[in-house]
Structure 1
Amino acid sequence: MLIAQLTDVHIGFDPDARPEELNRIRFRAVLERLEQAPHKLDFLVLSGDLTDHGDRDSFTKIAAVLGDMPCPLLPLVGNHDDREELRRAFPDTPCEDEFLHYVVEQDGLRIICLDTFEEGRHGGAFCSRRRDWLKRQLAAGGDRPCVIFMHHPPIVSGIDWMDPAPDEQWIAHFAEAVEGHQHAVRAIHCGHLHRRVTARFRGIPLGITPSVAPLVALDLRPIDENRADSRALITTEPPSYALHYWDGEDLVTHYESCGEWEVLAHFGEHLKPMVREMKAERR
């Protein structure tokens, strides 16, 4: 099973740009790559900040662009989004209550999509009701493997201006929910940070998928909010996405940036001996 993850598209950041805003151009480039890929997707996870202002027009635009996707969409809400507008744009989202969280299961893997949104807050949120919901879902799954998708990473990455405090209550709530289920949770995958990051959370592998919209600059120095030091904050690094491959036992993640590059080798007759040798080593 293949699960693509796109995150932080931020449609509507510059809606009046002509002929088209940069974020929509970058979004189309990633979708074209997915459509042209030799493998077929089973799901497309959209892990939050689909829009920049949570407005209906932006959600209508992103839903229209995604209208021809041949696989089910699993959207999450990010801090720039709006729950009601997201539900309106993607009415098939299987959310259960006021929070936009749900579980989908296929090929022996439970896909748990979480809601870390709190209106008016940039950082993450995970209240006691959401904690208890996740506890119930993990308990109901028993030993069955699962992957958790959420917009906000519950870790400190070192990118100071984007990070939460390590002792925030929402992170403690999330930790309580996954405690005792580390054997079942094969991975946690997030967005929000606009950079590729790998880490662990309570012993669980955690990955942050880089954004479709322009990326956050890699600068791990502390930042002084009262002293503008002209550091780079946002860059035009290529739009990116993640591809999560589930083989029935293990979950493997690939990351790819989208742009123009040359193919330096094709699998022709001259490379058959090399491939045969490499395959023979596995037998």
Structure 2
Amino acid sequence: MLIAQMTDVHIGFDPDARPEELNRIRFGAVLERLAKTPHTLDFLVLSGDLTDHGDRDSFSKIAAVLADIPCPMLPLVGNHDDREELLRAFPDTPCEGEFLQYVVEQDGLRIICLDTFEPGRHGGAFCEKRRDWLRAALASGDGKPCVIFMHHPPIVAGIDWMDPAPDEPWIANFAAAVDGHQDTIQAIHCGHLHRRVAARFRGIPLGITPSVAPLVALDLRPIDEHAADNRALITTEPASYALHYWDGTDLVTHYESCGEWEVLAHYGEHLKPMVREMKAERR
């Protein structure tokens, strides 16, 4: 099974740009790449901040662009989004209740999508109700493997102006829900940070998928909110996405940037001996 993940598209950041908004151009580049992939996608996870202002027009635009995607879409809400408008744009989202959380299962893998949104707050949120919902969702899985998708990473990555405090209550609530399920949670995958990061949370592999919109600069120095030091904050590094491969036993993640590059080797007759040799080593 293949699960593509796109995050932080931020449609509507510059809606009046001519000839077209940069974020829509970058979004188009990722979609073009996905359309050309030689493999078939089973799901497309949209892990939050699909829009920049949560407005209906931006959600309508992104839904229209995604209308031809030939696989089910699993949208999550980010801090720049709006739950009501997201559900209006993606009415097939399989969620119920106050929060946009749900479970989808296929090929022996449970995909758990979480809601870390709180209106008016940039950082994450995960209240007691969401904690209890996740506890129940994990407990009802009968030990089946699962992967968790959420917008906000529950870790301190070292990018000071984007990071949460390590002792924020929402992180403690999330930790309380996943504790005891480390054997079944294959990975946690997030967005929000606009950078590619690999880490662990309570012993569980955690990945942050880089954004479709421009990336956050890699600068691990502390930042002083009272003294602007002219450091780079946002860059034009290429738009990116993740591809999560589930083989029935293990979950493996690939990341790809979208841009122009040359193919330096094709699988022709001259490379068959190399491939045979490499395959033989596995037997």
Q: TM-score, normalised by structure 2?
A: 1.00
Secondary structure of the residue aligned to 2:176 is helix
Q: Which amino acid aligns with 1:176?
A: A
Q: Residue 140 of structure 1 corresponds to which residue in structure 2?
A: 140
1:240 and 1:200 map into 2 onto residues whose CA distance is 21
RMSD (CA atoms): 0.3
Q: Residue 43 of structure 1 corresponds to which residue in structure 2?
A: 43
User: For the Cα contact (< 8 Å) 1:142–1:184, is it kept in 2?
Assistant: no
Q: Residue 28 of structure 2 corresponds to which residue in structure 1?
A: 28
* 1:178-204 CA distance string (max 9 Å, x none): 010000100000000000000000000
Secondary structure of the residue aligned to 2:45 is strand
- Please list every run of 5 or more consecutive structure 1 residues that lacks an aligned counterpart in the other structure: none
**2:84 aligned with 1:84:** yes
Shift of 1:98: 1.3
Secondary structure of the residue aligned to 1:170 is helix
1:182 and 1:153 map into 2 onto residues whose CA distance is 17
2:37 and 2:245 map into 1 onto residues whose CA distance is 14
Secondary structure of the residue aligned to 1:175 is helix
2:269 and 2:94 map into 1 onto residues whose CA distance is 48
2:39 and 2:98 map into 1 onto residues whose CA distance is 35
* 1:208-255 CA distance string (max 9 Å, x none): 000000000000000000000000000000000000000000000000
- Please list every run of 5 or more consecutive structure 2 residues that lacks an aligned counterpart in the other structure: none
2:196 and 2:175 map into 1 onto residues whose CA distance is 22
1:168 and 1:83 map into 2 onto residues whose CA distance is 23
1:269 and 1:83 map into 2 onto residues whose CA distance is 53
Shift of 1:111: 0.1
Q: Residue 211 of structure 1 corresponds to which residue in structure 2?
A: 211
The number of residues matched between the two structures is: 283
Q: Which amino acid aligns with 1:144?
A: K
Q: Residue 183 of structure 1 corresponds to which residue in structure 2?
A: 183
1:93 and 1:84 map into 2 onto residues whose CA distance is 12
Q: Which amino acid aligns with 2:16?
A: D
Q: Residue 15 of structure 2 corresponds to which residue in structure 1?
A: 15
Q: Which amino acid aligns with 1:22?
A: L
Secondary structure of the residue aligned to 2:117 is coil
Q: Which segments of structure 1 move beyond 4 Å, counting only runs of 4 or more?
A: none
Q: Which amino acid aligns with 1:242?
A: A
1:216 and 1:8 map into 2 onto residues whose CA distance is 11
Secondary structure of the residue aligned to 1:279 is helix
* 1:58-98 CA distance string (max 9 Å, x none): 00000000000000000000000000000000000011111
1:136 and 1:143 map into 2 onto residues whose CA distance is 13
Q: Residue 111 of structure 2 corresponds to which residue in structure 1?
A: 111
1:48 and 1:9 map into 2 onto residues whose CA distance is 8
Q: TM-score, normalised by structure 1?
A: 1.00
User: For the Cα contact (< 8 Å) 1:11–1:24, is it kept in 2?
Assistant: yes
Secondary structure of the residue aligned to 1:141 is coil
2:268 and 2:260 map into 1 onto residues whose CA distance is 22
Secondary structure of the residue aligned to 1:173 is helix
Secondary structure of the residue aligned to 2:140 is helix
Shift of 1:164: 0.1
1:18 and 1:69 map into 2 onto residues whose CA distance is 26
Q: Residue 226 of structure 1 corresponds to which residue in structure 2?
A: 226
Shift of 1:17: 0.6
Q: Residue 196 of structure 1 corresponds to which residue in structure 2?
A: 196
Q: Residue 2 of structure 1 corresponds to which residue in structure 2?
A: 2
The percentage of counterpart residues that share the same residue type is 86
User: For the Cα contact (< 8 Å) 1:215–1:237, is it kept in 2?
Assistant: yes
2:17 and 2:61 map into 1 onto residues whose CA distance is 14
**2:266 aligned with 1:255:** no
